[in-house]
A and B are shown apart, each in its own frame.
Chain A
Amino acid sequence: MTVRRFHAEIGTAITTGALGVAAIIGAAELGTGWSDHGPQPGYFPFWVAIVLIGASLWNLGGAVAAHLKAQRTPPDPLDDPEEPFLPRQNLIRIATFLGAMTAFVIGMLTVGFYVAATFYIGLTAWRQGGFRLWKGLAIGAAFAVSLYLIFETIFQIPLLKGPLEPLLGIY
Chain B
Amino acid sequence: MSLLEVEGLTKQFGGLTAVNDVSFVVEQGQICSVIGPNGAGKSTLFKLISSFLAPTAGRVRFDGRQVSGLKPHRVARMGVVRTFQETTVFKEMTALENVVVAHQLGLTAGPFGIFAGSRRARADTLRIRDSAAEILDYLGLGHVKDETAVNLPHGYLRGLGIAIAMAARPRLLLLDEPFAGMNPDETDRAMEMVQGIRARGITVLLVEHDMRAVMRISDWIVVISFGSKIAEGKPEAIRADEAVIAAYLGEDDAELGH
Query: Are the chains A and B members of one assembly?
Result: no
